[in-house]
Amino acid sequence: MVCWSESFAIQPVQPVQPVNNRGKVFSDRPDYIRGIRFLEEKHDMLWNDDYKMIGYYSDIICSGGVFSDYENEQLMKAVYVSYLSHLNHYRYSGEPYITHPLSVALILASSRADCVTIVAGLLHDTVEDTDLTFRDIFILFGYDVVKIVEGETKVSKLPKMRRGKDTLKRDQDENLMKMFIAMSDDWRIVILKLADRLHNMRTLQYMSPPKQVEIAKETLILFAPLAHRLGLWMYKVELEDLSFRYAYPEEYFDVSRRVENRKELFEENLEFAEKQIRSCLRSMDIRSYEIQMRTKTIYSIWRKMRDNSCNIEGILDLMAIRIILKENTTPFDDISMCYLVLGQVHRLWTPLPKTLKDYLSHPKPNGYKSLHTTVLINGYPVEIQIRTAEMHYVAEWGTAAHWAYKSDVSNRVSEEMLWLREIKEWEVESPSIFMERVRNELLGTRTFVFGPNGDIMNLARGTTLGDLVEGGLLTDHVMVNGVCQSLGYKMKNGDLLI
């Protein structure tokens, strides 16, 4: 059984134990750092075990075997420059600081980020925390890396501002506004910032309790919704659960206890269902597939209980099974196979009314595709998700997944990131109004309706029929679900405009 929570388990970077012989090494400086005085001085401070650590970290970064020789050289150079820059710097945990940028780079690599983004991940704290300059990075790695590092550096100032005094509220909102505008210039800045925040959340236990609460709440309010908006499910769920644990510890451990008390029941039911599904797929001559099982995340359970005013038994997707169809050797196309499997699932178990969600015919705006249905297994509701391997990767990594399909990455990303680029065109009176729009329109709950041409319209919560008419998206003769409505009618999920 593959658990969803285990699929994103990246082992923490462990610093190499120093060798007994910390002899001084007088080696030639690499040509690429000549003339950069800061790095030259740092190079002269290296010892034997430093070289061993640099080699060890370089091997970790380049171990995937997915980059060209030139790209591997760039990655090794970035490890070296990052190590020199942060030499003798330590985190609150007592670990060498290099473990942080390296962990960020590994998180990026797990989403198959390109070489430029991983290099930027290794260097993202150098300008802010050391004497390395943007000019130095430009000389060493070029414009694209500088642009991402500079954008992330602007973003990284945000937490320090937000955790300041109340009198800095205006500066906080202004800094937030700059952050989103910077991210709209290159979507890779967003991915890097989220990877940075994710590793910081994993090591939050080394901060003081007040800082833990402030950082956790900030992550829940801003960064987890941003990951969700980008479709980065793997980032989103971990950010939410880690933040929830620190921001609301009593609620977190209460829900955790309830889940733990039902763990044996969940496992027995899911394992029973898995055997039935495997037998079903064999009968359909489907040989290449993967089955994953999970219980809903702690934060998602708590939020659904709060929003629906129900107890844990009232959550229909508390248990879920994911069927991932891989290499297709049948005479049917991938989409048809998903529907055929859905039909067989409904033959095995009774589906609950109104729980079928067809995201193949109508994908989510972030590119998510899958079939969802909820069935009763041994008297308990279990959500079944059916998708192909490519759909699964996009579901896990959202916008970042397009790195895996480089042939049309620019077109696919540009279409899905239009919502972020549109903020440059907003005409607002102040940074606070700008941020209010960001929270409500970009990071808040969205409403999805079907337009007259059948397309899904992604609207801000509270959008009225009059707003659509005034914006030129509809005429004033459009009906909602076949009924004439006033211009003040607030759009609801699933509304059909005719």
| 3 state DSSP class of 2 | strand
Nearest to 238 by CA among 223, 254, 251: 223
Please give the structure tokens belonging to residue 313.
């038994």
Place of tokens 């060890």: 56
pLDDT (average), residues 251-269 = 92
In a domain, 324, yes or no: yes
> Final residue of a domain: which of 345, 378, 402?
402
**For residue range 342-379, what is the model confidence (pLDDT) as tens digits?**
999 999 999 998 889 999 988 876 678 999 999 999 98
Predicted confidence (pLDDT) at residue 424 exceeds the cutoff of 90: no
Which residue among 73, 95, 129, 334 is the active-site one? 129
Q: Are residues 71 and 174 in the same domain?
A: yes
pLDDT (average), residues 324-333 = 80
How many Å apart are CA 34 and CA 353, to the nearest integer? 69
In a domain, 422, yes or no: no
Work out how many domains the chain is built from and give that number. 3
How many Å apart are CA 111 and CA 95, to the nearest integer? 25
The amino acid that residue 126 corresponds to is: T
| Residues in Cβ contact with 9 at an 8 Å cutoff, skipping those fewer than 6 apart | none
Active site residue 264: no
Q: Are residues 80 and 184 in the same domain?
A: yes
Least trusted range by pLDDT, from 84-98, 312-326, 411-425:
411-425
Q: Are residues 108 and 182 in the same domain?
A: yes
> Final residue of a domain: which of 402, 435, 463?
402
CATH code of residue 477: 3.10.20.30
**Bridge pairing between strands 289-295 and 2-3:** parallel
How many Å apart are CA 458 and CA 174, to the nearest integer? 27
Q: Are residues 78 and 201 in the same domain?
A: yes
Q: Are residues 347 and 458 in the same domain?
A: no
> What's the pLDDT score for residue 293?
92
Q: Are residues 314 and 460 in the same domain?
A: no
Angle between helices 99-110 and 115-123 (to 10 degrees): 160
**What are the b/e assignments for 146-165, b being 16+ CB within 10 Å?**
bbbbbbbbbbbebbebbeee
Q: Where are the alpha helices (DSSP H) in 203-295?
A: 209-218, 224-229, 233-247, 249-261, 263-283
CATH code of residue 142: 1.10.3210.10
In a domain, 248, yes or no: no
Q: Are residues 82 and 167 in the same domain?
A: yes
> What's the pLDDT score for residue 425?
63
Q: Are residues 343 and 459 in the same domain?
A: no
> What's the pLDDT score for residue 186?
76
In a domain, 363, yes or no: yes
How many Å apart are CA 26 and CA 138, to the nearest integer? 27
DSSP assignment string, 272-323: HHHHHHHHHHHHTT--SEEEEEEE--HHHHHHHHHHHT--GGG-TTSEEEEE
In a domain, 98, yes or no: yes
Average pLDDT, the chain: 81
Place of tokens 């219980």: 295
> What's the pLDDT score for residue 162?
44
Domain limits for position 481: 446-498
On whether the CB atoms of residues 241 and 227 are closer than 8 A, the answer is no
> What's the pLDDT score for residue 461?
67
**For residue range 184-213, what is the model confidence (pLDDT) as tens digits?**
667 788 889 899 999 999 999 999 999 999
In a domain, 119, yes or no: yes
> What's the pLDDT score for residue 471?
74
How many Å apart are CA 277 and CA 327, to the nearest integer? 18
Nearest to 238 by CA among 201, 205, 265: 201
> What's the pLDDT score for residue 23?
53
In a domain, 425, yes or no: no
> What's the pLDDT score for residue 111?
80
Q: Are residues 195 and 64 in the same domain?
A: yes
Which residue among 6, 59, 128, 313 is the active-site one? 128
How many Å apart are CA 268 and CA 232, to the nearest integer? 30
Active site residue 129: yes
pLDDT (average), residues 31-40 = 92
- 116 falls in which pLDDT band (50, 70, 90)? very high
DSSP assignment string, 103-142: HHHHHHHHTT--HHHHHHHHHTTHHHHSS--HHHHHHHH-
- Higher per-residue confidence, 135 vs 446: 135
Nearest to 87 by CA among 121, 136, 38: 38
- Give me the phi and psi of 131, to 5 degrees please: -90, 5
CATH code of residue 338: 3.30.460.10
Q: Are residues 73 and 127 in the same domain?
A: yes
| 3 state DSSP class of 45 | coil
> What's the pLDDT score for residue 18?
44
Residues linked to residue 2 through DSSP beta bridges, in sequence order: 292
> What's the pLDDT score for residue 421?
62
DSSP assignment string, 325-375: E-S--SSS-HHHHHHHHHHHHHHHSPBPTT--EETTTS--TT----EEEEE
Quote the strand ranges of 15-67, DSSP E: none
Place of tokens 């808040």: 444
In a domain, 464, yes or no: yes
Place of tokens 């969940």: 266
DSSP assignment string, 298-311: HHHHHHHHHHHT--
Largest CA distance in the chain: 83
**For residue range 271-303, what is the model confidence (pLDDT) as tens digits?**
999 999 999 999 998 989 999 998 889 999 998
Please give the structure tokens belonging to residue 324.
């991932």
How many Å apart are CA 486 and CA 265, to the nearest integer? 50
Q: Are residues 496 and 356 in the same domain?
A: no
Indicate the burial class of 235 (C-beta count within 10 angstroms; 0-12, 13-18, 19 or more). Answer: buried
- Higher per-residue confidence, 410 vs 470: 470
- Give me the phi and psi of 17, to 5 degrees please: -70, 130
> Final residue of a domain: which of 402, 433, 461?
402
Q: Are residues 115 and 35 in the same domain?
A: yes
pLDDT (average), residues 115-123 = 96
Predicted confidence (pLDDT) at residue 156 exceeds the cutoff of 80: no
pTM for this predicted structure = 0.76
